[in-house]
């Protein structure tokens, strides 16, 4: 009887050890399996490029608000005479929302993406000349494969002839490639000096993120769903839209990117008064 009891106890102990070992394997495997769904996990399985957010899906529906809320008082079609903003923006909120932006990516890194906005200069400056000193843009996620940062380029263009993107676009200024440190949920300001000529139809801003797949770089522009006064655009040859396309037309109306252009209108010096000649004394008769 005691032999049978000992044998039974040993069997229970053996099965318990097997169960604990299996449970240990499952517990350790689950985070890895779930982590493969997130683009920032370096062990994720690479896939064909597609447009999605950092979680590999389209952003969830968010509060809509007024997507094209007026930046000026109601009824104003142009900037009031004499008013020139220190910041040109179409964003009603500067907060960067996690998981709100999409990019062309393969599940492990982002491909080439360009993000765009076009600012109607009649609305913002009344068509006057505008001197740019810097630009700023939102970053939802910048994560480099090396941990030392990744390249980005900011370009400014003048658009004439027709509204963006159908007009004639002329490069006005560029930062050239510069290194952006790893960061998230920030608004980054970058020096950029340019003069927008008076009478320009639109000032166009582009943030270009090159193909990060060879280096394992991930970049998602910063955005929120809190309202904008003009459309946000995306272009990416690897995922379909090679030309700037309204994000609402791509199915992402709540992805309203945060772009700002900082500067001022030049102050023209007051005209120098002309000297008046002194009257000549009349000869005494």
Distance separating alpha carbons of residues 281 and 78, to the nearest angstrom: 55
Asked if residues 37 and 55 have their Cβ atoms less than 8 Å apart, the reply is yes
pLDDT of amino acid 59: 81
Residue 20 has pLDDT above 70, yes or no: no
Write out the two tokens for 179: 């290194």
Task: State how far the Cα of 149 lies from the Cα of 273, in Å rounded to an integer.
Answer: 56
To the nearest 10°, report the CA torsion of 124, 129, 131, 136: 30
Dihedral angle sign, alpha carbons of residues 163, 165, 168, 174: positive
Q: Are 156 and 135 in contact (CB under 8 A)?
A: yes
Q: 208-242, pLDDT tens digit by residue?
A: 999 999 999 999 999 999 999 999 999 999 998 89
Dist. CA 113–CA 52, nearest whole Å: 12
pLDDT digits (tens, 9 = 90+) for 86-127: 999 999 999 999 999 999 999 999 999 999 999 999 999 999
73: Cβ–Cβ under 8 A, 6 or more apart, which residues? none
For residue 271, the model assigns a pLDDT of: 53
Q: Over pLDDT 90: what percentage of the chain?
A: 65
Banded pLDDT at 33 (limits 50, 70, 90): very low
Strand-strand pairing, 103-105 and 245-246: unpaired
pLDDT of residue 32: 35
Q: Is it the case that residue 177 has pLDDT exceeding 70?
A: yes
Give the contacts of 57 (CB within 8 A, at least 6 positions apart). Answer: none
Tokens of 63: 């509060």
How far is the C-alpha of 167 from the C-alpha of 235, rounded, in Å?
16
How far from the centroid of its chain's Cα atoms is residue 281's Cα? Answer: 73
Residue 83 pLDDT? 80
CA distance readout (Å), 214 to 78, 165, 184: 46, 30, 21
Split at pLDDT 50, 70, 90, the class of 285 is low
Mean pLDDT of 48-70: 69
Is the bond preceding residue 272 a cis peptide, omega within 30 degrees?
no
Q: Are 103 and 257 in contact (CB under 8 A)?
A: no
List the chain domain ranges: 1-35, 50-264
Q: Is the pTM of this model over 0.85?
A: no
């Amino acid at each position: 009887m005691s032999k049978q009891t000992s044998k039974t106890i040993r069997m229970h102990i053996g099965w318990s050890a097997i169960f604990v070992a299996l449970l240990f394997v499952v517990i350790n495997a689950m985070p890895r399996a779930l982590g493969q769904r997130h683009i920032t996990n370096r062990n994720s399985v690479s896939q064909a490029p597609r447009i999605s957010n950092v979680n590999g899906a389209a952003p969830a529906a968010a509060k809509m608000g007024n997507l094209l809320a007026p930046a000026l008082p109601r009824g104003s079609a142009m900037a009031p005479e004499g008013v020139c903003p220190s910041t040109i923006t179409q964003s009603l909120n500067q907060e960067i929302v996690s998981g709100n932006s999409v990019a062309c990516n393969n599940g492990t890194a982002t491909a080439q993406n360009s993000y765009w906005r076009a600012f109607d200069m009649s609305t913002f400056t009344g068509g006057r000349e505008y001197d740019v000193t810097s630009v700023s843009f939102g970053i939802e996620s910048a994560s480099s494969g090396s941990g030392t940062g990744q390249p980005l380029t900011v370009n400014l263009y003048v658009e004439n002839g027709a509204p963006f993107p159908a007009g004639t676009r002329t490069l006005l200024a560029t930062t050239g490639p510069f290194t952006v440190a790893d960061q998230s949920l920030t608004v980054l300001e970058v020096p950029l000096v340019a003069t927008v000529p008076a009478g320009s139809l639109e000032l166009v801003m582009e943030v270009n993120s090159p193909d990060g797949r060879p280096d394992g770089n991930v970049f998602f522009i910063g955005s929120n769903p809190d309202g904008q006064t003009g459309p946000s655009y995306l272009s990416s040859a690897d995922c379909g839209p090679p030309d700037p396309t309204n994000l609402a037309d791509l199915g992402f109306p709540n992805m309203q990117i945060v772009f700002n252009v900082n500067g001022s209108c030049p102050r023209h010096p007051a005209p120098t008064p002309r000297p008046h000649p002194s009257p000549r004394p009349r000869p005494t008769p």
